[in-house]
Chains A and B, each alone.
Chain A
C-alpha cells in the first residue's frame, strides 16, 4: 500500500542549480498536485494536473515547471534554484474515477534548502 511516493526527502541546492522532485501514486488517481509549505502560510498550490497530459498553474508557479509523465507520475522541476524556494514540498493526488472518494493523499514531503 504505497500511496503517494515522493523523492527525495531532503535536498540542499546551491543558488542556480537545478533539480527535479519526483512523485508517483499507485491509486489510479486522475488529479495530482504540487504544494509548497512555508511557516504561517499553509499549503500553497504550485501546479496541478487534472488528468494525464494536462497541467495548469496554481497560486505560486514562478520558478517551477512540471511534467505529468503518465497517470502515475508528476514531477516538479526547479530550473535555477533561488533561496526563496527553500521550503517543504508536498505532492498529492486525488479522485479515483468511479468512486465517491475525493480525499487528497499526500507524499511525505521534500525538505529543500537553497543556499
Chain B
C-alpha cells in the first residue's frame, strides 16, 4: 500500500521568495511516480510536475521543481519567485507501477499556501 504524508497544513510566503512544500511517501514498490497538483480556490485540479522514481535528475517545470530524495522517500515541491497567483492548495500524489492499465493515485492531505504581497 502507498501512503503520502504532507505535514504542513498551511504555509505563508512573501511574494517573490521561494517556498518548499514537504511531501514524504511510503511504498514497497521499486518503481513509482510522484506528482504535485495545485488546487486554486476555484476548485479545479491542475497538474504541476511529475517525477519518476528512476529519474536521476530532479524534475523542473518553469518555477516549479521537485526535490526528489529517494533514500529519504521525500518529494518536496519548490516554488521559486512566488507570485500571488500561487496561493492555493497543493497536493502531493503517488502512482504505483502500471498494472493492467490501471494505476490508483494516492493523494496527501494537502498544504494550503498563501502568498503575501
Q: Is B25 an interface residue (CB 8 A)?
A: no
- A50-B45 in contact given A41-B109, A42-B109, A104-B105 (Cβ < 8 Å): no
Chain B contact surface mostly: loop
Report yes or no: A95 in contact with B47, Cβ–Cβ below 8 A: no
Q: Is A45 an interface residue (CB 8 A)?
A: yes
| Chain A interface residue number, banded | 20 to 34
Q: Which residue of A lies closest to B35 (CB)?
A: A103
Bound-state CA distance A97–B108 (Å) is 27
Bound-state CA distance A108–B9 (Å) is 23
Partner of B91, one of A42, A44, A103: A42
Residues of B within 8 A of A48 (CB): 102, 104
Partner of B95, one of A90, A97, A102: A102
Q: Is B85 an interface residue (CB 8 A)?
A: no
- Mask of A48-79 contacts with B, CB within 8 angstroms, 1/0: 10110000001000000000000000000000
Count how many pairs of residues, one from A and one from B, have CB atoms less than 8 Å apart in the complex. 67
Bound-state CA distance A91–B28 (Å) is 27
Residues of B within 8 A of A42 (CB): 4, 6, 91, 107-110
Bound-state CA distance A50–B100 (Å) is 8
Q: Is B64 an interface residue (CB 8 A)?
A: no
Q: Which residue of A lies closest to B52 (CB)?
A: A102
Closest CB of chain A to B115's CB: distance in Å?
Answer: 21
Q: Is B43 an interface residue (CB 8 A)?
A: yes
19 further interface pairs, Cβ-Cβ under 8 Å (given A42-B108, A42-B110) = A40-B109, A42-B107, A43-B91, A50-B102, A51-B101, A51-B102, A92-B45, A92-B105, A94-B105, A95-B101, A102-B33, A102-B103, A104-B35, A104-B93, A104-B95, A104-B105, A108-B43, A109-B43, A111-B43
A-B residue pairs, 5 tightest by C-beta: A50-B102, A106-B45, A42-B109, A30-B101, A43-B107
6 A-B residue pairs with CB within 8 Å: A33-B104, A42-B110, A88-B43, A95-B98, A105-B47, A108-B44
